[in-house]
A and B are shown apart, each in its own frame.
Chain A
Amino acid sequence: VNVSRRWLERFLRRSLDAEDVSTRLAAQGAAVDVIEPLNAGLGDIRVALVEEVRQHPNADRLRVCTVNDGSADRRQVVCGAPNVTAGRKYPFAPVGATVPVGKGGAPMRIEKAKLRGELSEGMLCSARELGVGVDADGLWELETDAAPGTFLLEALPLDDDRIVVDVTPNRPDLLGHKGVARELAASLGVPYRLPQLGPNALAPDVPPAQRAAGVRETVTGPLRVAIDDPEGCARFHAAVVRGVRVGPSPAWLRRPLEAVGVRSINNIVDATNYVMLELGQPMHAYDLATLKGPALVARRARAGETLVTLDGVERRLDGETTVIADAARVVGIGGIMGGHETEVRDGTTDLALEAAWFEPSRIRRARRALGLSTEASYRFERGVDRWNAAEAMRRSLEIILLTAGGTIEGSPVDLHPVVANPPRIFLRLARVKQVLGLELGLHEVERCLVAIGATVVAKPDDGRLAVDVPGWRPDLTTEIDLVEEVARMHGYDRVPTELRPFRVGTLPDAPAFAVKERIRRGLVAEGLSEVVSLPFTAADGEASVALLNPLADTGASLRRRLLPTLVRHAERNWNNHVRDVRLFEIGTVFERAEAGKRPVEQLRLGLVVTGAREPGHWASEAAPDVDAWDLKGLAEVAGALAHPGATWHVEGDHFMARVKDGRTVGWAGRLAADTPPWGGALFGVEIDVTDGARGPVRVEPLPTTPAAERDLSLVLPDGVASTAVIQVIRQAAGDLLEAVHVTAEFRGSAVGEGRRSVTFRLTFRAPDRTLRDADVDASETRVLSALERELGLSRRGA
Chain B
Amino acid sequence: MTRRIALAILFSAWAVVLLALVLIYFVTRQTVVAELDESIIARAMALPRLAGVSQQGGVGVLPRGDRYVIRNELGQVIARPEGRLDNHAAPVVTNRKFVSMADGGRLRSITLSFALPASDTQPEHTATIVYSAPADAVDGLLQRMAILLGGVGVGGGLLIGAVAWGVSRAALRPLRLTAEVIGTIDERKLDRRVDAAALPSELRPMAERLNEMLARLENDFAQRKQFLADTAHELRTPVAAILTHLEVTLRRPREAAVLAEALRTSLSDVQLLRRLVDALLEQVRSDRPMTAAQMTRIDVSALLEQCATLADSLASAKDVRIVRTFAPGIRAYTHPVALQSMVTNLLANAVEYSPAGSSVELNCRLADGQIELHVRDNGPGIPPDVLPQIFQPFYRADGSHSSKDGHLGLGLFLVQSHAKAMGGRCDVQSTVGSGTTFSVLLPSAPPAAASNAAAKQEKANAAASMAEGSKVVMGS
Same assembly: no
Q: Hey, which bits of chain A sit against chain B, CB under 8 A?
A: none
Q: Hey, which bits of chain B sit against chain A, CB under 8 A?
A: none
